[in-house]
A = this chain, B = another copy of it.
Amino acid sequence: MSGHTRDTGIDGALLLPLRIIPAAGGDVLHMLRGNSPLMPDFSAGFGEIYFSETRRGAVKAWKRHRLQTQHFAVPCGRLKLVLYDDRPASPTRGKLREIVLGRPDNYGLLRVPAGIWYGFTALGENTALLCNCADIPHDPAEGEKLPADTPVIPYDWTKE
């Protein structure tokens, strides 16, 4: 958990490679410790840990939070995440990034700041599992959604 974060090309969205510890009966996978460079701010209280499954071929998009910061790891399967920065004051406004999370080569923790549109789809044959440690609990009032095929975001989920 002592690694360095990587810039994703979107301001404030950072990726931290995480350790996988091989073991006889099954691997152990790090996610978050108090000394992580991506540790959420829980000074106002703990947020939430939940899982979101994405079945083969399914797309879950788009979502954006006004206040909540996401911290994503993908311990099962592989997920392609797409981030779109439409924040008026952002130095990376208009940028779009595809980020793959999952073993064997892309196991890590992705921080998605508030204000970023995001969506994801499962890669490969298997259902993917995302674990999110969010800095504040789920509140539908601070979240927004757009359909996957919205013209507002220049991304085509149907392309390979």
Contacts and interface: CB of A to CB of B under 8 A. Distances in A.
A142 to B, nearest CB: 15
Given A42-B42, A137-B33, A25 B49 contact: no
Given A29-B51, A129-B75, A137 B34 contact: yes
Contacts of A80: none
A9 to B, nearest CB: 26
**How many copies, total?**
2
A125 interface: no
Interface residues of A, number: 39
Contact of A76 (B32, B52, B129, B137): B129
A32 B138 CA distance: 11
A45 interface: yes
Interface of A: 23-35, 39, 42, 45-55, 58-60, 73, 75-76, 122, 127, 129, 131, 133, 137-138
The 8 A-B residue pairs with the shortest CB-CB distance, nearest first, are A25-B58, A26-B53, A34-B46, A29-B51, A31-B49, A51-B75, A32-B49, A26-B54
